[in-house]
Amino acid sequence: MGKAYDVVVIGGGTGGYVAALRASQLGARVAVVEQGELGGVCLNVGCIPTKALLRSAEVYEMVTHARDFGVMVDGDVKADWAKMQDYKAKVVRRLVKGVAVLLKKAQVPVIEGRGRLVDAHTVEVQGAEGTQQVSASKIILATGSRPVKLPLPGFDLLGVVDATGALELESLPERLLIVGCGVICAEFATLFSSLGVRVTVVEMLERALPMMDHDIAHEIHRSLKRRKCKVYFDSRAQRIDEHDGALLATFETPDGEKQIEVDKVLVTVGRWANIQDLGLEQVGVETKRNGIVVDERMETNVPGIYAVGDVTGAWWLAHVASHEGIVAAENACGHESRMHYKAVPSCVFSHPEAASVGLNEEQAREQGYDVLVGKSLFLSNGKAVTYGERDGFVKVIAEGKHGEILGVHIVGPHASDLILEAALAMQMEATLDEIAATIHPHPTLGEVISEAVLAARGQALQS
């Protein structure tokens, strides 16, 4: 038997390394088992590299519209995909190194290899130098997720990629088909269309972003159309064939079967929890169709074994994983901590951005609330106008009796930053009146939130 620890974390992604840091902070002897790069999906092939490329595309768009702001740019403005990839890689390397430094400072060793459970207190690690076992009083599973593969004809061809593959493309395709119109689609459609790629989207449901408020989904759809993306709803991909050096995609629409020729196909239809070959069955850890079953303490049915992040198959968000990691670590170290999901913000880094927290309008009505809705546009906001970012709105959902905030939905400039005020308001069970009484600085984008709150009371001043 190898070294003994108080807590062993299997997986060094966002949930795993944060759990390790918190457990170490609480005085536990901790080790992290990781078979790949620290930082997991989010840092290496998800959130961060995508946002780095989106930032490059945003800068490119800003420069191409510089004349609108009285700035004359001499010569041709070109988007250099290879240089954008270099920038992305530099950002990722810096942040991965940062995670390694944090773990080293916390005296948390990283054991390289694939970890699996032997029993409730033993982890077997298969690494490049052989197999070893480490023991632990408590174990936290944070093995993340992987993209769903479609079992359709031709979807295993070379030009068909998932989000990870799209981030590693050596050159920009001229024509791209995206299957699925969720968050990942909205971001990649924004990225590639900004750089001149002709984008087509096929979505089996009747609208974009099905988990978000219908008004948000409608605005994102409008933004994709403004970018000349062709979007087909109520449509199903059927097959991909090779055709004259390109890919011929066949899909069924309400108007019948269609075919388009593209250079690449990007599949964005969801993710599967990484629960295979973890020894879960051997130890008796309960699972569901797509993840590990946990309680509000992030503990599984086996005492002392916890699970956090994507592997639980509940929320596919890095910030939720990190918070779950903290909760699991605290419970593993003898403290009492509970996970609450009432005020979880979700963000879409399209252009314009979108962000939501709490109930959308449909959900609030379905749950029987007497719903108040307030909406305010960025169109008349001073800062939005000066920045040339006037598209979008803030939509506030509240209950009628006390005015408690039930949900806030934003599409527009810096929506991902603005949603924090709404998340805090919901966490504190704030009301419309309390937000209205809060002085919002001028000129800021946050004033649109204040105006939407006033609109819910029928007291809007600027719209």
Catalytic residue among 65, 243, 335, 442: 442
Are 390 and 244 contacting, i.e. CB atoms less than 8 angstroms apart? no
Are 149 and 237 contacting, i.e. CB atoms less than 8 angstroms apart? no
C-alpha distances in Å from residue 44, one per residue of 147, 191, 262, 388: 14, 18, 27, 32
**Cα 146 off chain centre by:** 13
Which residues, in sequence order, are CB contacts of 429 under 8 Å at separation 6+?
A: 404
Which residues, in sequence order, are CB contacts of 415 under 8 Å at separation 6+?
A: 347, 348, 352, 353, 354, 355, 392
C-alpha distances in Å from residue 243, one per residue of 160, 163, 179, 240, 265: 14, 23, 19, 9, 14
The secondary structure of residue 277, as a DSSP letter, is T
Among 269, 273, 268, 267, which residue's Cα sits nearest to residue 287? 273
> Does the annotation mark 65 as catalytic?
no
CB contact burial 260-294 (16+ within 10 A = b; e otherwise): bebbbbbbbbebbbbbeebbbeebebebeebbbeb
Which residues, in sequence order, are CB contacts of 358 under 8 Å at separation 6+?
A: 342, 343, 397, 405, 406, 407, 408, 422, 426
Handedness of CA 23, 27, 31, 36 (dihedral sign): positive
- d(CA 155, CA 251) in angstroms, rounded, equals 13
- d(CA 154, CA 249) in angstroms, rounded, equals 9
- d(CA 144, CA 166) in angstroms, rounded, equals 19
448: buried, middle or exposed (CB in 10 Å: 19+, 13-18, 0-12)? Answer: buried
Handedness of CA 216, 222, 226, 231 (dihedral sign): positive
Identify any residues that bridge with 31 across adjacent strands, giving them in sequence order: 8
Strand order in the sheet with 246-253: 236-243, 246-253, 256-262
Among 155, 430, 95, 119, which residue's Cα sits nearest to residue 304? 119
Sheet strands (E) in 163-245: 175-179, 198-202, 230-232, 236-243
* Residues labelled as active-site residues: 442
